[in-house]
Chain A
Amino acid sequence: MTQDIEMKEQQPALSNSLSTTAPSTFQNLKEIAALIEVGAYAREVRRIVRAIRWTIQLRRKLKASVLSAFLNHVLVPGSELQSRLYSHLPKEDEQDMELDTATSATQAPAKHPLPELEVYCCLLVLIFLIDQKRYSEAKACSSASIARLKNLNRRTVDVLASRIYFYYSLSYELTGDLAEIRGNLLALHRTATLRHDELGQETLLNLLLRNYLCYNLYDQAEKLRSKAPRFEAHSNQQFCRYLFYLGKIRTIQLEYTDAKESLLQAARKAPDAALGFRVICNKWAVIVRLLLGEIPERTIFMQKGMEKALRPYFELTNAVRVGDLELFKKVADKFSNTFSSDRTDNLIVRLRHNVIRTGLRNISISYSRISLADVAKKLRLDSPNPIADAESIVAKAIRDGAIDATLDHANGWMVSKETGDIYSTNEPQVAFNSRIAFCLNMHNDAVRALRFPPNSDKEKESAEKRRERQQQEQELAKHIAEDDDDDF
């Protein structure tokens, strides 16, 4: 789904080819630990975020020996946590490890390690276990870590905790027991909300949505989503996921316009590396657009690295565009496996109606008058009473505004109306307005999304300068007030 999974797939091949240099990885880990320590003391969440990003880069180089050396270095040897984490590591390269233990035992800090570092070690072991595909151990390890996290209430732990939540859910998902942890996740979400841990809330809400959607529990997912507190997104990845789940829920509940917006936004915002995620977003977006009666552009299907995965959807689009029921059925049958594994098969069933509509629209544009028998033939309606069916289908299309025509029952005709001059209506003005509004919104969002580092130079501002500035501000305020007076 996300870049994390993508990375994992490449991982086995890479770990063989990369000649891992244990000391440098160990050195890197030590640097990360130092970074976390600084972050924890200075209460700078930013540093911890950087530490995690760095860890993910190191991920492929993680080895049991390096890890155990690191655990020895950071944690108090013989402590409960250390021995527990230690038990998860394989003992294959015994020699190597002993060497490391020997060297690091001397420099092991005697003091009690920071909670941040403890949590970080849990995370590291957890990632390692998942990469080694030892999921049941990962489950045990993550559950124990979660139990420990419950007692920690520090803002600097939040970032690490949110990653642990993620891997916790992932390890259960990989073994197919996602339903088991739903209660736990809900409890964690509640705790995160009470602690104002927004990143944790964001992550857990997504995990919960994923959990529900995994079992097609759209109703529960929507109820949770609509009631959970919302705030400005902290992490782009989490926000993308949220948008994707939101898009899925809205699609199922037939709110296609909103669904399209969320799905397209999710696809656009996702990082380039998350190819799998972008592909699935595009798949859903294509279907939603088809359901809306739009025909997605060809370029969507030609995006780099997606051609093959989007092929079934391309053919489907083609069938809808032509408005041919036969062809549509053929495509749906041909790729039924793909559609059911993407869990879009129910949506495809809904599309049948759109195929008919498009066909009807084509007919209405090409003929000024056509008999209903011919309409039925052209649409290839296979029913015992095609003419009556065609008549009521056309009637409904007229009422829904899909075509502009009238029916003549006595003669069995459909008479298309002349298309009027659209520029004599307000239509162009409305379209113009919606486009401008879109551009302006985009700009405003972009401005709002800009991030500024905490203003470090302002603190250095001397007392004199500050006074000067305040004075200026006051004058300005006075001016504005005067202006206001003039206005009224």
Chain B
Amino acid sequence: MDPKITEVSQAFERFKAAFVRNDFDKCSELLSQLKVLLTKFKSLPPLFEETPNAIHELTLARDIYEHAVVLSVKIEDLDAFERDFFQLKPYYTDACGRLPQSPQEYLILGLNLLRLLVQNRIAEFHTELELLSAIALENPCIKHAVELEQSFMEGAYNRVLSARKTLPHETYDYFMDLLAKTVRDEIAGCNEKAYDSLSVNDAQQILLFSSDQELVEYIKVEHPEWEIKNGFVYFKQARESEPCKEIPSLQLINQTLSYARELERIV
């Protein structure tokens, strides 16, 4: 066996051992070593050279990056997640003809979808979604993320939160926590516009707090403009499309002048 592969495999074994022990510092350290070692393999993207050990090397590298993605979730580092995921992606898209499908593939793709959702990068979410086949869309991990996005867009927020109970994998937990936070902000934004006032109890329920104290705390930090009075939360109504009392004269003059100029050009 190629000594380089042996070296990488050994390091990877140590990495996995540390991973099982939840020794994440050690993991990160080993991971950076592994990534450096991987650069010596010519069969990996972007070169994709046909070497005798290509399949072995590709599989090994894919395994390493998959672990890297999961690790980044565990140490709650979204930037690292994005980096590792993009390194992993070519193995799924460009090497799919040569490697057997990874059992982790859908799990990781689902995680990525969830990440995009949490970061509110909906356009990228849909771009990724287009890449998935009909079979992939049926997979529980992917389906979970897709349904979440739909409920999110509709505004059925409690459905988003109840989806927590049906997590396809433990790593999804972290993102669901983040999502809960996003959802709460969304709900707060909606309530502000939709209600004149809410009783403190109702507000606490709708905003998914377990005690009044938390609610009061949240309002103080996030929405200091809300008012709590006699057991009710009053949202300030600073909107309404006021009937215009003043004619926006400057704008009108500008527009009329530009019409005149354009007309003159035509005639």
Contacts and interface: CB of A to CB of B under 8 A. Distances in A.
Interface of A: 216-219, 252-255, 340, 346, 349-350, 352-353, 356, 381, 383, 385, 388-389, 392-399, 405-410, 420-421, 424-426, 429, 433, 436, 440, 443-444
Given A349-B150, A392-B155, A399 B194 contact: yes
Interface in B184-222: 186-187, 189-196, 198-199, 202, 206
B154 interface: yes
Please report whether the interface of chain B is mostly helix, strand, loop or mixed according to DSSP.
helix
A254 B123 contact: yes
Contacts of B158: 385, 388-389, 392
B93 to A, nearest CB: 8
Contact of A406 (B156, B159, B194, B255): B194
Contacts of B80: none
Q: Which of A392, A420, A426, A436 has the most CB atoms of chain B within a 10 A radius of its CB?
A: A392
A353 B195 contact: no
Given A340-B134, A383-B156, A410-B199, A252 B194 contact: no
Contacts of A255: 123
28 contacts: A216-B130, A217-B131, A218-B127, A219-B127, A252-B130, A253-B127, A254-B122, A346-B126, A349-B150, A350-B126, A352-B154, A356-B154, A395-B155, A395-B194, A396-B154, A396-B186, A398-B194, A399-B189, A399-B192, A405-B194, A406-B195, A406-B196, A407-B195, A409-B195, A421-B243, A436-B259, A440-B259, A440-B262
Given A353-B153, A392-B157, A396-B155, A218 B193 contact: no
A169 B158 CA distance: 49
B154 A353 contact: yes
B198 A409 contact: yes
B135 interface: no
Nearest to B191: A395
Interface of B: 122-124, 126-127, 129-131, 134, 146, 150, 153-159, 186-187, 189-196, 198-199, 202, 206, 241, 243-244, 248, 252, 255, 259, 262, 266
B130 A346 contact: yes
A374 B144 CA distance: 29
Given A395-B190, A410-B199, 17 more contacts: A217-B131, A252-B127, A254-B126, A349-B150, A353-B150, A383-B159, A393-B155, A393-B156, A395-B155, A396-B186, A406-B194, A407-B194, A409-B199, A410-B202, A420-B241, A425-B241, A440-B262
A253 B123 contact: yes
Given A253-B126, A409-B198, A392 B131 contact: no
A254 B126 CA distance: 8
Contacts, number: 105
Contacts of B252: 429
A241 to B, nearest CB: 19
Given A352-B150, A393-B155, A409 B255 contact: no
A218 B129 CA distance: 10
Given A218-B127, A409-B198, A409-B202, A395 B243 contact: no
B193 A424 contact: no
Contacts of B153: 350, 353
Contacts of B129: 346
Given A410-B199, A425-B243, A399 B159 contact: no
Nearest to B131: A216
B159 A426 contact: no
Please report whether the interface of chain A is mostly helix, strand, loop or mixed according to DSSP.
helix
A410 B199 CA distance: 8
Contacts of A252: 123, 126-127, 130
Contacts of A385: 158
A252 B130 CA distance: 8
Nearest to A389: B156
Contacts of B150: 349, 352-353
Contacts of B198: 409
A210 B95 CA distance: 22
A393 B189 contact: no
A352 to B, nearest CB: 7
A213 B136 CA distance: 19
Nearest to B241: A425
A216 B129 CA distance: 9
Nearest to A222: B127
Contact of A398 (B124, B190, B255): B190
Nearest to B160: A392
Which 5 interchain pairs have the tightest Cβ spacing?
A396-B155, A424-B243, A395-B190, A395-B194, A253-B123
Contacts of A349: 146, 150
A356 B241 CA distance: 25
A195 to B, nearest CB: 27
B154 A393 contact: yes
Given A383-B156, A388-B158, A426 B248 contact: yes
Contacts of A444: 262
Contacts of B244: 424-426
Contacts of B127: 218-219, 252-253
Q: Which of B154, B155, B199, B243 has the most CB atoms of chain A within a 10 A radius of its CB?
A: B155
Contacts of B124: 219, 253
Contacts of A217: 131
Nearest to B193: A399
Nearest to B237: A406
A393 B151 CA distance: 9
Contacts of B266: 443
